[in-house]
Chain A
Amino acid sequence: MQFHQYDVVIVGAGGAGMRAALEASTEARTAVISKLYPTRSHTGAAQGGMCAALANVEEDNWEWHTFDTVKGGDYLVDQDAAEIMAKEAIDAVLDLERMGLPFNRTPEGKIDQRRFGGHTRNHGEAAVRRACYAADRTGHMILQTLYQNCVKQDVEFFNEFYVLDLIVDHDLSAGDVPAGEEVTATGVVAYDLATGEIHIFQTKAVVFATGGAGKIYKTTSNAHTLTGDGMALALRRGLPLEDMEFFQFHPTGLAGLGILLSEAARGEGGILRNGNGERFMERYAPTIKDLAPRDIVARSMANEVREGRGAGPNKDYVLLDLTHLEPAHIDAKLPDITEFARTYLGIEPYTEPVPVYPTAHYAMGGIPTTIDSEVLRNPSDVVKGLYAAGEVACVSVHGANRLGTNSLLDINVFGKRAGRAAAAYAKTATFTDLPDSAEQWVITQLEELRTRPEGERVSDIRREMQETMDANAQVFRTEESLTQALADIRTLQERYQRVSVQDKGKMFNTDLLEALELGFLLDIAEVTVIAALNRRESRGGHFREDYPDRDDSRYMHHTMVYRRPPGASVGGNITDEAFSHVSDFEDYKVVLGAKPVVQTRYEPMERKY
């Protein structure tokens, strides 16, 4: 076992983690812990762009951007946070440009911008050019640029270290810490993949930037490594998760594979057609058609297929048509995604339409934070020295549905804020003593899992979980399907207790790593389904066929979900009748709660495009 002491420890080296590191490392002794090499993070897979109201190509302002974000999120967005994001977007883009990011340029040499789903001029009049981009590898360029600047600043990385526990000075899991009491994060426990050694990091501030949990679904654009580690760790340590029922399905995943084809394809003029060749989005969103927000497009596509108008031999996908675009234009603006179609499906996008179907893409929910990225342990109290940013966090700027490009914005704006806040806090704080043998819990768990002679196979449980989530908790959900999903997940949770790995070694035991990741995935899938069951309305990415309308009177709140011991009292969490559900399981109970939505300028309206 090894011991380290840093002022700030950042968990995760994707966009948000590295953006935070760039801020924190100039002010405080900072370490970044990541289970992957930094440039392997899934930020690099983002393609289309990053929106900011630079107004380089046409009239635009940040207030329109705020409105689009709020409306896109079906009014579940915290409007103060959305306003901050839209305002600071401009500096976030300029920061990146100054760091060296090679944005595409206008004829005058300024940063070029293009259209993107849900981004409109003057509160919905027409699509606006707001997304700053670098071909169709904007995320790749952001990740590379941030890493390059981390090299420049000599940021200290612990690569291929897996954080397995968060140390907080109170036991929050029992739920008996009174509101208002000061709770402080004091460190993390990490596992060195290369050697199997345990490392303890004592720290004044921890920033969680561990990304999403797309692997709870089978068809997903997410990386194999996006397993909700940070979210699940927080949940297990008694912290709440917010709005977990909202998961975004990206309309254009390669059919059957889930590999993402950017919305930029539609931003550049691509058209969705059903099996009859009809441009069906004209029926669902007459004004902005194919550039409607992702939840609407994804649902429209699923609906076309369900009503028998799909394409292909089984009529189980629709088509993304780029054939009317000039090949030169496609090559200049969309080189990577056309290559995906060629490589993986053998389709030539110049001449053939590409088969697409919605793919699990982004968790709107996550660890609740304030606008300064401080983690909340209930609707109002923060945990001192604990921050979260990026997909793992829920600020909430995305509400019930994230607009395209706003994730790259989120990681840059709130990554920066988290880094700054953590460093500023670290300057005023002192180290808190760690409990004796803080690592013991992790070591016991690891050893038990590693040495269990035989039992369930990780891949079987994971496959079954992904299949039930795809079948029962995807674009269309009902009470019945979600109940089925929950029952399946409970069975799988129980089987997971007997899971065993074949690799008994200590060096690079990726078999063990996958088993740990599966544990996190199951926890996330479980709370996703529980939160979805409770929200008996349809809003943004969460569509209940049995409750197809939005119900602001009952559900205009964020869902909070807590995990508590079987015997714990739950009274403190329940503040709202619609969010008073408790699921009792043998080993713990899952308790729901509500958190108010912050509304500043915009009254909820019907969402039409």
Chain B
Amino acid sequence: MTATLDKDTDTETQAGAIPSFEVTIKVRRFIPENSDEPYWEQHTLTMYGTDRVLDALHKIKWETDGTLTFRRSCAHGICGSDAIRINGRNRLACKTLLKDLNPDKGPIIVEPIKGLPVVKDLIVDMEPFFASYREIMPFLITSGNQPSKERIQSAEQRERFDDTTKCILCAACTSSCPVFWTDGQYFGPAAIVNAHRFIFDSRDEGATQRLEILNDKEGVWRCRTTFNCTEACPRGIEVTKAIQEVKRAMIRRAF
């Protein structure tokens, strides 16, 4: 067996054998019921090699301070609940291993994602984010009668928009975008990614309407290709590329 396998065994029986280390987590707290000033709070914990940032947050909540508030659900990077800012980068807490954050080089800084109103601790108001998503008509638009069986689509046509079907609406991309931070009016990468998913779907007939919507002053043209979104995406979607493809589709439409 390789050395890596040694860490994978049950933590209960093997606690001694798994490499453990000290981690300092610095969390930005905000509890509007107590104070309208956010503050920083530091916790030092003993964690293990397979532990993720979410495990550390749980450890704080379950063993030290029950008031620490954050969203989470599936805990393996598919539900999109726990996008937070870790050491200045947007990440899913459940997909970021503590050992990858160099815990020996100073505290791990945990903050809510930027650009959306903070409601409590790490929880932000997602409504503006979902509102932009809803605006781009994120559903298949077709005309005429439904076919009696499935619509035909070749594997290549299917592959054309495969990348953008991976989106889990976690808002890591949108809230990493400097343009979005300013006034929150920009549609944001996530909305454009989801528009892309339909614009390039051979079965869809609503591309023109979606392109029209994203041609807005706050639409794709505000993208400055900083690639923050691509870097932040926990699903590995090439977000900036998708935005560029939507831009190109708009130019093609105009000529």
Instruction: Say if the two chains contact directly (CB < 8 Å).
Output: yes
A residues near B (Cβ < 8 Å) are 36-37, 39-42, 44-45, 93-94, 97-100, 102-111, 134-135, 137, 140-141, 144, 148-149, 151-152, 194, 223-225, 254-257, 259-260, 311-314, 316-317, 336, 340, 343-347, 352, 355, 457-459, 467, 501-503, 505-511
Give B1-33 as 1s and 0s: 1 = Cβ < 8 Å from A's Cβ atoms: 110111111111110010000000000000111
Binds A, one of B145-153, B223-231, B243-251: B145-153
Chain B nearest Cβ from A555, distance in angstroms: 33
Residue from A36, A104, A137 in contact with B155 in the complex, judged by beta carbons closer than 8 Å: A104
Residue pair B204, A100 in contact (C-beta under 8 Å): yes
Residue pair B9, A45 in contact (C-beta under 8 Å): no
Residue from A42, A104, A355, A457 in contact with B8 in the complex, judged by beta carbons closer than 8 Å: A355
Cα distance A93–B151 when bound, in Å? 12
Known contacts A140-B168, A355-B5; A148 and B138 CB within 8 A of each other: yes
- Return chain A residues, CB-CB under 8 Å to B95: 343
Residue pair A152, B139 in contact (C-beta under 8 Å): yes
Cα distance A520–B104 when bound, in Å? 40
Cα distance A344–B49 when bound, in Å? 10
Chain A nearest Cβ from B236, distance in angstroms: 8
Chain A nearest Cβ from B71, distance in angstroms: 8
Residue pair B73, A225 in contact (C-beta under 8 Å): yes
Residue pair A501, B66 in contact (C-beta under 8 Å): yes
Q: Which residue of B lies closest to A219 (CB)?
A: B10
Residue pair A45, B74 in contact (C-beta under 8 Å): yes
- Return chain B residues, CB-CB under 8 Å to A336: 78
Chain B nearest Cβ from A290, distance in angstroms: 21
Cα distance A50–B144 when bound, in Å? 27
**5 residue pairs from A and B, CB less than 8 Å apart:** A151-B134, A152-B137, A313-B6, A343-B77, A344-B76
- Return chain A residues, CB-CB under 8 Å to B153: 105, 109
Residue from B10, B139, B154 in contact with A316 in the complex, judged by beta carbons closer than 8 Å: B10
Residue pair A42, B151 in contact (C-beta under 8 Å): no
* B189 interface contact, C-beta 8 A: no
Residue pair A255, B9 in contact (C-beta under 8 Å): yes
Residue pair B126, A505 in contact (C-beta under 8 Å): no
Chain B nearest Cβ from A263, distance in angstroms: 16
* B237 interface contact, C-beta 8 A: no
Give B64-81 as 1s and 0s: 1 = Cβ < 8 Å from A's Cβ atoms: 011101111111111111
B residues near A (Cβ < 8 Å) are 1-2, 4-14, 17, 31-34, 50, 61-63, 65-67, 69-81, 95, 97, 119-121, 123, 126, 130, 133-134, 137-140, 146-147, 149-155, 157-158, 161-162, 165-169, 198, 201, 203-204
Cα distance A140–B7 when bound, in Å? 30
Q: Which residue of A lies closest to B120 (CB)?
A: A508
Known contacts A102-B201, A343-B95, A508-B119; A224 and B76 CB within 8 A of each other: no
Most-contacted residue by chain A among B31, B66, B166 (CB, 10 A)? B66
Closest 3 CB pairs of A and B: A100-B140, A502-B66, A459-B62
Chain B nearest Cβ from A46, distance in angstroms: 9
- Return chain B residues, CB-CB under 8 Å to A40: 71, 73-74, 79-81
Cα distance A508–B31 when bound, in Å? 10
- Return chain A residues, CB-CB under 8 Å to B158: 102-105
Known contacts A223-B74, A347-B4; A39 and B119 CB within 8 A of each other: no
- Return chain A residues, CB-CB under 8 Å to B151: 97-98
Chain A nearest Cβ from B53, distance in angstroms: 13
Residue pair A39, B76 in contact (C-beta under 8 Å): no
Residue pair B9, A503 in contact (C-beta under 8 Å): no
Residue pair B140, A346 in contact (C-beta under 8 Å): no
Known contacts A100-B201, A224-B75, A314-B9; A94 and B139 CB within 8 A of each other: no
- Return chain B residues, CB-CB under 8 Å to A149: 139
Cα distance A194–B32 when bound, in Å? 12
- Return chain A residues, CB-CB under 8 Å to B77: 340, 343
Residue pair B165, A314 in contact (C-beta under 8 Å): no
Residue pair B2, A314 in contact (C-beta under 8 Å): no
Q: Which residue of A lies closest to B138 (CB)?
A: A148
Residue pair A140, B78 in contact (C-beta under 8 Å): yes
- Return chain B residues, CB-CB under 8 Å to A507: 31-33, 119-120
Q: Which residue of A lies closest to B121 (CB)?
A: A508
Q: Which residue of B lies closest to A515 (CB)?
A: B66
Residue pair A502, B139 in contact (C-beta under 8 Å): no
Residue from B31, B79, B123, B146 in contact with A44 in the complex, judged by beta carbons closer than 8 Å: B79
Apart from A41-B73, A340-B77, 6 more pairs, CB < 8 Å: A105-B155, A109-B153, A148-B140, A151-B133, A313-B1, A510-B61
Residue from B66, B162, B204 in contact with A503 in the complex, judged by beta carbons closer than 8 Å: B66
Cα distance A94–B95 when bound, in Å? 34
Residue from A42, A194, A254, A467 in contact with B74 in the complex, judged by beta carbons closer than 8 Å: A42
Cα distance A587–B11 when bound, in Å? 36
Cα distance A313–B9 when bound, in Å? 8
Residue pair A223, B9 in contact (C-beta under 8 Å): no
Chain A nearest Cβ from B117, distance in angstroms: 12
Residue pair B5, A312 in contact (C-beta under 8 Å): yes
Cα distance A501–B65 when bound, in Å? 10
Cα distance A225–B139 when bound, in Å? 27
Cα distance A260–B79 when bound, in Å? 14
Known contacts A97-B151, A110-B152; A502 and B11 CB within 8 A of each other: no
- Return chain B residues, CB-CB under 8 Å to A137: 78, 165-166
Residue from A42, A316, A343, A505 in contact with B33 in the complex, judged by beta carbons closer than 8 Å: A505
Cα distance A131–B129 when bound, in Å? 34
Cα distance A99–B142 when bound, in Å? 10
Residue pair A148, B8 in contact (C-beta under 8 Å): no
Chain A nearest Cβ from B164, distance in angstroms: 10
Q: Which residue of B lies closest to A275 (CB)?
A: B1
Residue pair A111, B66 in contact (C-beta under 8 Å): no
Cα distance A279–B148 when bound, in Å? 44
Residue pair B73, A42 in contact (C-beta under 8 Å): yes
- Return chain A residues, CB-CB under 8 Å to B75: 223-224, 259
- Return chain B residues, CB-CB under 8 Å to A511: 61, 66-67, 69
Residue from B10, B146, B162 in contact with A98 in the complex, judged by beta carbons closer than 8 Å: B146
- Return chain A residues, CB-CB under 8 Å to B167: 144
- Return chain A residues, CB-CB under 8 Å to B66: 458, 501-503, 511
- Return chain B residues, CB-CB under 8 Å to A467: 12
Q: Which residue of A lies closest to B75 (CB)?
A: A224
Residue pair B150, A97 in contact (C-beta under 8 Å): yes
Chain B nearest Cβ from A301, distance in angstroms: 15
Residue pair B4, A94 in contact (C-beta under 8 Å): no
Residue pair B81, A36 in contact (C-beta under 8 Å): yes
Known contacts A312-B9, A510-B69; A39 and B169 CB within 8 A of each other: yes
Cα distance A164–B133 when bound, in Å? 30
- Return chain A residues, CB-CB under 8 Å to B63: 459
Residue pair A312, B1 in contact (C-beta under 8 Å): yes
